[in-house]
Amino acid sequence: MERRNQTTLTEFILAGFSDVPQLQNFLFVVFLCIFKISFLANLFIILLYSFSPSLHTPMYFFLANFSILEICYVSTIIPKMLINLFYHQKTITFHGCAVQLYCFLLLGSAECYMLAAMAYDRYNAICHPLLYSNIMRRLVCIRLVLACWFIGTIVGVLQTILIFSLPFCGSNRINNFYCDIPPLLSLACKNTQFNEILIFIITFIIVIGPFILTVISYTNIIWTIVMHHPAGMRRKAFSTCTSHLIVVSMFFGSATIMYSRPKSSYGKDEEKFLSLIYTIIAPLMNPFIYSLRNTDVKNAVKKVILGNKIVRN
């Protein structure tokens, strides 16, 4: 029987929010609005960077690439969740689950290191302003972005192969709204100790490592500003750094808790809440925290608008 279940499994059931059926329509509207806002906000940043020469600096180069990553990231998770909410169909094919997991791991891992690279860029700009142009050359920026995508690709391939090489038997119900490693491990009918150890190691390398680097960068930034800048600039810098650290802590903190938990705790409802933070809430906040409130972005918008008016006249 176990062997037959392993070979005939063709789909999984994404339980999602089926435990609150009366909220399905409401949740569909909420997540659809979040998806549209996140998608359009990040697309706006990409287009603004493309058409604004004043933003062609390392900082906005990273932000534009970060926005590309964010669009792909939310598009991996939310559309399938919306389909399940709207049509009340909770299934995903075996191969579709594998593709979703691969894309999620690739983009999530790349985002962790992209956040660290962006913090490193700001560290050099504020702490080493005279050397900034030499340190953050365009080739260096391109290599950092490519490194983020390369690390994400390696993690995605490695973990997807290891997870879907496991035999699945019994229930095919995933207690989440997308395919993720912890709920999939709980469905495996084989000892997954090796997978759990590997997840812990990768969590440290991919999540905790970049988080430490990000915090170190912002700590040095705050220290430099306190020691060498006037009070007015301190308040603005503290406000910016605090908002960045809050979003970063939400993203890294929830992911760390999710992937460092023992297998015995898998399948509990708090997993959905943790997943919401780093898959939906943080990506929604990122474009507004990192880009749309910046003075340079506001000025670039004005130039684009005025430029269009001049052309029309």
- pLDDT tens sequence for the chain (313 residues): 344 444 457 889 998 887 777 888 899 999 999 999 999 999 999 999 998 888 889 999 999 999 999 999 999 999 999 998 888 778 899 999 999 999 999 999 999 999 999 999 989 988 888 899 999 999 999 999 999 999 999 999 999 999 999 888 778 888 888 999 988 988 888 888 888 889 889 989 999 999 999 999 998 988 888 877 666 666 767 777 778 888 888 899 888 888 887 766 665 667 788 889 999 999 999 888 887 777 778 788 877 776 655 445 4
pTM (two decimals): 0.89
Q: Name the nearest CA neighbour of 94 among 158, 184, 220.
A: 184
Pairwise CA distance, residues 272 & 270, whole Å:
5
Cα end-to-end distance, the chain, whole Å: 76
| Beta pairing class for 11-14 and 91-93 | antiparallel
Contact 113, 38 (CB under 8 A): no
Separation in Å, CA 237 to CA 98, 140, 218? 42, 26, 10
Contact 123, 69 (CB under 8 A): no
Within 88-208, where are the H helices? Answer: 94-127, 132-135, 138-164, 181-185, 193-203
Give the pLDDT of residue 233: 66
Provide the 8-state DSSP code for 180: -
Give the pLDDT of residue 267: 54
Residue ranges of domains in the chain, CATH in brackets: 2-312 (1.20.1070.10)
